[in-house]
């Protein structure tokens, strides 16, 4: 039996940041992840200046691809809008591995299946024991499934379905482009260049609204690829094979702590309501959970923003367009207090 103070299930941005902060604060921790790192992760890899600040990152010494866009070009019903606020892109396969290594925590490749409450804490798969447990396993997190699903049901109407592909490509346009609500998509599509000739393309939308309206994320992908070709953002003959993934936008999130178990990142469903940004909330929540464990204090999401954009009309319009609830949807969720 391997025993330690804290076990973190999942070594993505949420789990790695939690481990990084725990190791700075004192408690021993161990990360269990089913994947061997570096592992691919479907994600556009857009990160904000807040992420860089939370991680105390020195961009000059980051050893992998890192690109800063001075402008983001938003396309809304045929109108082009320019957002002048520097944002960054990384490749998740590199960034996540770097975060994990930087944490200095021990990582064991193990797929967590069974979690048991024991007097002293938690036992995992009859092999590991800990006092505190952190669920950082993303959308399919076993800690969420075992300990939180009943008390914190996921809001089906806030589930995002996404198709995306990251590929080596000698892009010509260095700006990030976002197309909102094209052809009735309840979401947006993106073109995110990465440093040294990588490109990420994707389409994401609210799964239930797509289903209710007979929409298909694959049809939206085809429309998106046609737009990219028409605008000469990609070659006409570029062959693409996107992959799918899903995650949840932030709801009221009733419980993120239960006894000595904590939920962070996508396991808690923390992606922002307006732009579905998940990396920043994952990292911030991981750090906050670590502080709560180290201090024996409260774990609160008060400082984890529900939105990526500042207050104002664009944010309200996007949050409404992405995550307005259809009347027909089952109302088992808590209302969003934000
Ligand atoms: C297509 C797409 C594009 C996106 N683009 C962006 C973007 O540009 N910017 C942004 O901010 N957000 C984006 N997001 C959201 C972002 O990717 C997530 O919010 C973020 O990865 C959450 O981090 P996490 O650490 O909580 O979970 P994850 O990154 O999912 O990490 C979870 C880890 O847990 C492990 N795990 C899972 N189950 C088990 C188990 N049973 N046992 C052990 N280990 C397990 C997994 O292997 C994984 O390594 C995007 C999401 C998608 C789907």
Q: For every one of its 338 residues, what pLDDT tens digit does the chain have, with 9 covering 90 and above?
A: 999 999 999 999 999 999 999 999 988 999 999 999 999 999 999 999 999 999 999 999 999 999 998 889 999 888 888 988 889 999 999 999 999 999 999 999 999 999 999 998 999 999 999 999 999 999 999 999 999 998 888 888 899 999 999 999 999 999 999 999 999 999 999 999 999 999 999 999 999 999 988 889 999 999 999 999 999 999 999 999 999 998 988 987 678 999 999 999 999 999 998 888 999 999 999 999 999 999 999 999 999 988 888 767 777 777 777 766 554 444 344 333 32
Please tell me the distance between residue 41's alpha carbon and the centre of ligand 1 in angstroms. Answer: 7
**Cα 273 from Cα 316, distance rounded (Å):** 9
- Model confidence, pTM: 0.93
Residue 278 burial (10 A CB sphere; 0-12, 13-18, 19+): buried
Q: Give yes or no for residue 187 CB within 6 A of ligand 1.
A: no
Give the per-residue pLDDT at 251: 82
- Mutating to test ligand 1, I would choose from 9, 44, 148 the residue with most ligand atoms within 8 A of its C-beta, which is 44
- Mutating to test ligand 1, I would choose from 12, 188, 306, 307 the residue with most ligand atoms within 8 A of its C-beta, which is 12
Q: Relative to the CA of 163, which ligand 1 atom is closest? A: 1
User: What domains sit in the chain, N to C, each tagged with a CATH number?
Assistant: 2-66+91-156+249-309 (3.50.50.60)
Q: Are 208 and 323 in contact (CB under 8 A)?
A: no
Please tell me the distance between residue 265's alpha carbon and the centre of ligand 1 in angstroms. Answer: 8
Q: Residue 181: which region, alpha, beta or left (left: phi > 0; alpha: psi -120 to 50)?
A: left
Give the per-residue pLDDT at 338: 28
Residue 185 burial (10 A CB sphere; 0-12, 13-18, 19+): buried
**Cα 126 from Cα 114, distance rounded (Å):** 8
Protein residue with least CA distance to atom 30, ligand 1: 138
Q: Relative to the CA of 89, which ligand 1 atom is closest? A: 8
Three-state DSSP class for residue 234: coil
Give the per-residue pLDDT at 315: 74
**Cα 36 from Cα 260, distance rounded (Å):** 27
**Cα 174 from Cα 197, distance rounded (Å):** 10
Please tell me the distance between residue 92's alpha carbon and the centre of ligand 1 in angstroms. Answer: 9
Give the position of tokens 């088992």.
332
For the chain, list the strands marked E by DSSP: 2-9, 29-33, 46-47, 66-69, 72-76, 79-83, 87-90, 106-109, 115-118, 121-124, 128-135, 159-168, 176-180, 187-194, 198-206, 243-248, 257-258, 261-263
Please tell me the distance between residue 247's alpha carbon and the centre of ligand 1 in angstroms. Answer: 8
CA-CA-CA-CA torsion sign (134, 272, 46, 41): positive
Please tell me the distance between residue 248's alpha carbon and the centre of ligand 1 in angstroms. Answer: 11
Q: Give yes or no for residue 307 CB within 6 A of ligand 1.
A: no
Protein residue with least CA distance to atom 18, ligand 1: 278
Q: Give yes or no for residue 147 CB within 6 A of ligand 1.
A: no
Q: Give yes or no for residue 44 CB within 6 A of ligand 1.
A: yes
Of 275, 287, 281, 279, nearest to 316 by C-alpha is 275
Protein residue with least CA distance to atom 37, ligand 1: 137
Kindly list the distances between the CA atom of residue 166 and the CA atoms of 143, 173, 202, in Å, as whole numbers in the listed order: 30, 16, 9
Give the position of tokens 């006894």.
259
Count the Cβ atoms, other than its own, within 10 Å of residue 232: 10
Protein residue with least CA distance to atom 27, ligand 1: 138
**Cα 96 from Cα 90, distance rounded (Å):** 10
Q: Give yes or no for residue 35 CB within 6 A of ligand 1.
A: yes
Please tell me the distance between residue 164's alpha carbon and the centre of ligand 1 in angstroms. Answer: 14
């Amino acid at each position: 039996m391997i025993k330690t103070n804290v076990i973190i299930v999942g070594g993505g941005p949420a789990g790695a940041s939690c481990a990084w902060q725990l190791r700075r604060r004192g408690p021993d921790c161990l990360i269990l992840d089913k994947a061997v790192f570096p592992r691919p992760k479907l994600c556009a890899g857009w990160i904000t200046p807040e992420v860089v600040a939370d991680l105390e990152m020195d961009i000059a010494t980051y050893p992998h691809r890192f690109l800063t866009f001075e402008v983001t070009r938003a396309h809304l019903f045929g109108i082009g809008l320019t957002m002048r606020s520097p944002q960054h892109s990384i490749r998740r396969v590199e960034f996540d591995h770097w975060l994990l290594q930087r944490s200095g925590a021990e990582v064991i490749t193990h797929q967590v299946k069974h979690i048991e409450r024991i007097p002293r804490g938690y036992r995992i798969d009859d092999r590991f024991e800990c006092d505190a447990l952190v669920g950082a396993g993303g959308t399919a997190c076993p800690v969420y499934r075992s300990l939180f699903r009943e008390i914190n049901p996921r809001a089906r109407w806030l589930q995002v379905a996404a198709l995306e592909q990251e590929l080596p490509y000698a892009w010509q346009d260095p700006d990030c482009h976002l197309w909102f609500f094209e052809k009735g998509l309840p979401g947006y599509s993106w073109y995110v260049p990465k440093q040294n000739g990588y490109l990420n393309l994707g389409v994401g939308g609210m799964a239930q609204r797509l289903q209710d309206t007979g929409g298909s994320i694959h049809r939206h992908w085809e429309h998106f690829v046609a737009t990219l070709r028409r605008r000469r953002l990609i070659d006409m003959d570029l062959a693409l094979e996107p992959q799918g993934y899903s995650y949840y936008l932030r709801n009221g999130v009733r419980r993120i702590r239960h006894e000595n178990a904590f939920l962070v990142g996508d396991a808690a469903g923390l992606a922002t309501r307006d732009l579905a940004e998940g990396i920043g909330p994952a990292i911030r929540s991981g750090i906050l959970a670590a502080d709560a464990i180290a201090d024996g204090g409260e774990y609160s999401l008060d400082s984890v923003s529900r939105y990526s954009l500042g207050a104002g009309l664009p944010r309200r319009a996007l949050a409404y367009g992405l995550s307005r609830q259809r009347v027909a949807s089952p109302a088992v969720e808590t209302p969003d207090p934000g």
